Amino acid sequence: MQFFVDTADIDEIRSLAETGLLDGVTTNPSLVAKTGRPFRDIVADICAVVDGPVSAEVTATQADAMIEEGRSLATIADNVTVKVPLTMDGLRACRTLSMEGTMVNVTLCFSANQALLAAKAGATYISPFIGRLDDIGLDGMELIAEIRAIYDNYGYETELLAASIRTVNHVKDCAIAGADVATIPPKIIRQLVSHPLTDKGLDAFLADWQKTGQSIL
């Protein structure tokens, strides 16, 4: 499974990229607003740090305006993925941009039917929001499994990009369900490496090593 980081914080992105764990980045208007920086500058900086896809979201709501914004965003760098909402206008924009060779991430997906439409419109990625479904008492992971089954049934090439990830268990469950990508907040990515038995074992090894009085160098 590919790991994307869900942030517009260039320092976090650079730090995670150095680990070799990062395959791409997703942003949205809310994340960009937190930085206080010009949108296009942020996208350009991220694209310079990460070789993989970088999702940059349109803010228009009408198809023609989305297409215009998408074409503009695609000029920033070759790895820009234009993010559009899962509306009829968004699907129309997705179709046009995809046919022009631009990667498109269709976002705000909350049902398997929506995901089916996005695939038929030629989306590069579909972004179902797990956490937001969980918030209203539904099962976000069930949606991941449904989309995986539908895409596999018909051989759709659209990649399943699990979004709105809130916990480390979300990441594990997405991997088990067969999500192609998980876009994860930096905090959750860092939590994935943590386990109390790892810490306990390392402390014991270091204590024993210190008793030897030796140095590797």
Tokens of 105: 């991430």
Active-site residue (options: 83, 172, 200, 211):
83
State the residue for tokens 């760098």. 77
Quick one: which of 126, 122, 72 has its CA closest to 101?
A: 122
Asked about 83 being catalytic, the answer comes back as yes
- Number of Cβ within a 10 Å radius of residue 141: 20
Beta bridge partners of 160: 126
Q: Which residues are catalytic?
A: 83
